[in-house]
Amino acid sequence: MSKFRFIFKQNRRFKVFFKAFCISFAIIASATGVGIYAMNSIRPPDIPVVEPVMINIPVREVTPNDRPTINTETEDYPEYEDDQPPPLIATLSERKPLFFTFLVVGLTEGLNANTIMIAAYDGETRRGYVISIPRDTLVDVERNSRKIVSAYNVGRLRGGGHEGGVERLKYEVQSLVGFRPDFYVTVDYAAFVRMIDAVGGVEIYVPFHKRYDDPWQSLHIDIPEGLQMLDGINALHFARYRRGNNPRETITDYQRIENQQQVISSTIQRLMTPMTVLRIPEFIGIFNNYVDSDLAPGELLWFANQARTFIGGDGTDALEFHTLPMAGTSGAPRWYELADEAGILELVNRTVNPFIQDITADDIRIITP
């Protein structure tokens, strides 16, 4: 009898062991399968091939006020007249190896491109670059409002929804920097708020008490002065702040751009912490619901993995932020920001230019005041 019990116990232990072994094997096999799939799917994207288009654009003297303007604040989006694409020098052979460029757009309610950035990643040097484009930048187009901020809505209304808006904005950005961004990422403000909340907030120094109330937009900003951890909604308010209830607390568009860059830099630092790995499913949900891009999931993961290696200890060692150089403003009535051709060429060729050869004045279309 004791021998039978011993055999039974041994048999039960073997069954427990075998069951545990099978479960462990299944987990390892699954993990291995996922790893193999991930290794196969996580890869750098192929650079879109854009056929070179060489167009002789007549030289013309254009001033900021020589085209029709409107006296109301309501934007008018007429059909395009005489809009020809700027020259392209893009061929695959002329590209820097493992160098990628992006159009990054922040959309308000999915309609207005209030934040416009050109980003680039150099996979060989492991450096990243971000150039903010002031929303009031004057672009060489035929429409009543020639601010680049109008481009997305023009394309959306005239060119077929979101994709038309992105393509129109890419085209007008190209006229300023000399190349068409390879890929795009558009981010709704809702994603901005949720992403920052998901990383536990961002640490920001607020230089003065920011207070602004706009009942028409249901916008109420109240952020005290000092170094503090901002949640998603207050980080958004900090990035959007332009005018205060007190006129003396108004900031320039360039200062707002600096605030946006500060929030982005702080968010990247938070994303690089080990604890964010536990929130990956949440980040995926945010991305699927509020972010649009022409990059495949495996390509996005490749860039995410690259970011973990090229960003230094303080999150900014190899990531540079810049603002597109301006030469001044046109003044009333439209208050266009006038692009600085020489400054743009110097900055673009030093940072985001994806080509081996330098971009020149022949490759851009900038209106000289």
Domains of the chain from N-terminus onward: 92-193+273-363 (3.40.630.190), 200-259 (no CATH)
322-344 as b/e, with b when 16 or more CB fall inside 10 Å? bbbbbeebbeeebebbbbbbeeb
Query: Where is average pLDDT lowest: 92-101, 183-192, 304-313?
Result: 304-313
Separation in Å, CA 88 to CA 73, 178, 287, 311: 34, 7, 32, 32
- Give the residue, 264 or 350, on which the prediction is more confident: 350
Half-sphere exposure of 103 (CA within 13 A, CB side): 28
Closest to 148 in 3D by CA, of 173, 165, 167, 123 = 173
Measured distance CA(271)–CA(279) in Å, rounded: 10
> pLDDT class for 79, splitting at 50, 70, 90?
very low
Q: Give pLDDT tens digits for 241-265.
A: 988 888 888 899 899 999 999 998 8
Measured distance CA(62)–CA(172) in Å, rounded: 17
Reading the block at residue 55, the tokens are 């167009």
Q: What angle do CA 137, 251, 316 make, to 5 degrees?
A: 75
What single DSSP character describes residue 101? E
Measured distance CA(214)–CA(143) in Å, rounded: 29
Q: Which distant-in-sequence residues (6+ apart) come within 8 Å of 111 by Cβ? A: 153, 156
The H or E element containing residue 130 is: strand 127-132
Q: Give pLDDT tens digits for 126-138.
A: 899 999 999 999 9
What's the average model confidence in pLDDT over 34-45?
57
> What is the full DSSP assignment across 167-194?
HHHHHHHHHHHSS--SEEEEEEHHHHHH
Q: What percent of the chain has pLDDT over 90?
A: 38
Q: Give pLDDT tens digits for 222-233.
A: 999 999 999 999
Reading the block at residue 324, the tokens are 């597109």
Question: Given the DSSP bridges, would you call strands 183-188 and 99-108 parallel, antiparallel or unpaired?
Answer: parallel
- Give the residue, 236 or 306, on which the prediction is more confident: 236
Residue 80 has pLDDT above 50, yes or no: no
Q: What is the pLDDT of residue 215?
A: 84
Q: What is the pLDDT of residue 110?
A: 63
Residue 172 has pLDDT above 80, yes or no: yes
Measured distance CA(250)–CA(258) in Å, rounded: 14
What's the average model confidence in pLDDT over 34-57?
56
Measured distance CA(71)–CA(65) in Å, rounded: 13
Reading the block at residue 125, the tokens are 């040097």
What's the average model confidence in pLDDT over 278-294?
82
What single DSSP character describes residue 136? T
Q: State the chain's mean pLDDT as an integer.
A: 77
